[in-house]
A = this chain, B = another copy of it.
Amino acid sequence: MNHHVQLISRLARPGESKIVLLVLDGVGDIRTAEQPQTALDAARIPNLDALAAGGALGRIVPVAQGITPGSGPGHLALFGFDPTEPTADIGRGVLEALGEGIQIRPGDIAARGNFATADAAGNLTDRRAGRIPTEECVRLVAAINAKLKDVREIDASVYAGEGHRFVLLLKAGATPLDPNLADTDPQQIGVPPLPVAESAPFAASTAAKLRPVVEAIQRAIANEPRANRALLRGFATVPHLPSVPDLYHMRCGAFAGYPLYRGVAAACGMDLVPCGKSFAETVAAVREHWSKYDFFFLHVKKTDMAGEDGDLATKIHALEDVDAILPELLALGPDVVAITGDHSTPAPMKGHSWHPVPLLLWSKQCYVDDCKAFTESAAIHGAIGTVRSSELMGLMLANAGRLAKYGA
């Protein structure tokens, strides 16, 4: 835990105020010769613009200048952590497992699994098994778990995800397991899955325990028409992150529809509140739990998906959808509202990027700057300036009156 987190934690005090952090995943975009307006520039978002006019804008840098973050580091930074610290290096397998509500104890290992298709020679022809439906995934997972009961070397089980995705959980026995295991996913077709192998010598005993697990999985699905192989990647243990509720004396609720984001929130000790995937459903869930929490993390995925698809029009619609529901959220009377993203996902780049993410911060003490609209170009001139994403937590707590004065 770094110096900055310790300082904020030391000054944090309980209170009655309520903070809403609304993450519009991948919201930041870029202007280019071909795309002269970003989604925020083009969207009709009168409610966001009104909040911007009465609040303060700025920009946040998730990891460091030039660094394109994954969703894990992007969110950990929003929750106040330095995502370059070793403790903040959480494997995707663990994040998805936590997001599915799977209990992971210290010493356990989780990995992400994909069902895949191999030809008669054993070479992969489709790394996603024709994107099988979730029901088929559920059936396969049940068949695999039946076989895994016979594995004596280790307590292993699989959990169905969406479509071709699943999570493998290896439970530690008397001794903790070591996550330094190589992926069995070769990340290409035309070759067979990779054999189980340790990526560091001291993980050899864990690799030895994993081999019968992978063999049992293979026996369970060998005769499937499509999903006849399983590929594993991202072996990881549960992180030793300090709890955000404990650090800052806040009851924290996470309102996110997708496993990865639920997983990051769970890794930080937040409660996972069941909610749908639309912003309307999310806000309805927030309303229902308004008295239960002090800090509300809301996640909107659609902005990022549209950016990943290079689909500016859908990104604009996603923002307009949020804008239409925003008054319902504000009607709950939050003391602090922060609206930003975990990273930028510019439509022209069809992927995450390093560009600073626009931030809208509203409270009664935020300092009303001259920005009149929530756009990347306005945010450049906002009162908050350009700060690290991990600095936002301190700003939210300060605006909520939840930080004591430092020093005499």
Q: Which residues of A contact B (CB under 8 A)?
A: 3-4, 7-8, 11, 30-33, 36, 54, 59, 63-73, 83-84, 89-92, 95, 234, 260, 346, 348-349, 351-356, 364-370, 376-377, 380-383, 385-387, 391, 393-399, 403-408
**Closest 6 A/B residue pairs (Cβ):** A66-B394, A92-B408, A70-B407, A66-B398, A73-B407, A65-B391
- In this complex, what residue of B is CB-closest to A59? B385
- Bound-state CA distance A64–B6 (Å) is 12
For residue A165, give the distance in angstroms from its CB to the closest CB of chain B.
14
Query: In the bound complex, do residue B406 and residue A68 qualify as a contact, i.e. CB atoms below 8 Å apart?
Result: yes
Give which listed residue, B72, B366, B380, B408, contacts A71 with CB less than 8 A.
Answer: B408
Query: In the bound complex, do residue B30 and residue A406 qualify as a contact, i.e. CB atoms below 8 Å apart?
Result: no
- In this complex, what residue of B is CB-closest to A29? B367
Q: Which residues of B contact A346 (CB under 8 A)?
A: 365
Q: A64-B7, A407-B70, A407-B83 are in contact. Are A376 and B387 (CB under 8 A)?
A: no
Give which listed residue, B66, B72, B381, B406, contacts A381 with CB less than 8 A.
Answer: B381
28 interchain pairs, CB-CB under 8 A: A3-B84, A4-B64, A7-B64, A8-B66, A8-B67, A11-B67, A31-B369, A32-B368, A64-B391, A64-B394, A66-B394, A66-B396, A66-B397, A66-B398, A66-B399, A67-B403, A68-B403, A70-B406, A70-B407, A71-B408, A72-B408, A352-B405, A353-B398, A354-B394, A356-B385, A369-B377, A369-B380, A370-B377
- 12 more A-B contacts (CB under 8 A) besides A66-B397, A67-B406, A68-B405? A30-B368, A32-B365, A64-B391, A66-B398, A68-B403, A71-B408, A73-B406, A90-B407, A92-B408, A351-B405, A353-B398, A380-B381
Give which listed residue, B33, B59, B63, B403, contacts A66 with CB less than 8 A.
Answer: B403
Q: Which residues of B contact A8 (CB under 8 A)?
A: 66-67
Number of copies of this protein chain within its complex: 2
Query: In the bound complex, do residue B66 and residue A391 qualify as a contact, i.e. CB atoms below 8 Å apart?
Result: yes
Query: In the bound complex, do residue B387 and residue A65 qualify as a contact, i.e. CB atoms below 8 Å apart?
Result: yes
For residue A310, give the distance in angstroms from its CB to the closest CB of chain B.
13
For residue A257, give the distance in angstroms from its CB to the closest CB of chain B.
18
- Bound-state CA distance A403–B92 (Å) is 20
Most buried by B among A89, A91, A380, A381: A380
- Bound-state CA distance A387–B386 (Å) is 10
- Bound-state CA distance A3–B86 (Å) is 12
- In this complex, what residue of B is CB-closest to A355? B367
Query: In the bound complex, do residue A353 and residue B368 qualify as a contact, i.e. CB atoms below 8 Å apart?
Result: no
